[in-house]
Amino acid sequence: MELGIVTEEQREKASAYIKEAVKATIRQREEGEHIKDILNTLKNDFDIVPKISRKVIEAHIKGNFAEVVAENTAYEDLSEITGVNK
């Protein structure tokens, strides 16, 4: 496979993009670890399981908290009706 890098200017640009992507990936991994630490703190200090914390975080980001609550309520209602929660 041939690369479309012919000139020195293109080589420098490509190198700069790769280096920036490496930095972004490192930041992303560090943030992921930070989030895991926060979720573990919530679990250890308040007995909130990470799955629930993640749902609440996503609801805040997406702005669909009412929808998430409605889905969970429907799940609970159906579980009660079918006897799954016993």
Tell whether pTM > 0.85.
Answer: no
Q: Mention every residue, 6+ apart, whose C-beta is less than 8 A from residue 58.
A: 68
Backbone angles phi, psi at 6, to 5 degrees: -115, -45
pLDDT tens digits for range 38-79: 999 999 999 999 999 999 999 999 999 899 889 889 888 888
* 3 state SS for the chain: CCCCCCCHHHHHHHHHHHHHHHHHHHHHHHHHHHHHHHHHHHHHHHCCCHHHHHHHHHHHHHCCHHHHHHHHHHHHHHHHHHCCCC
User: What is residue 85's predicted lDDT score, i.e. its pLDDT?
Assistant: 66
pLDDT tens digits for range 7-42: 999 999 999 999 999 999 999 999 999 999 999 999
pLDDT tens digits for range 3-12: 888 899 999 9
User: What is residue 84's predicted lDDT score, i.e. its pLDDT?
Assistant: 77
Amino acid at 57: I
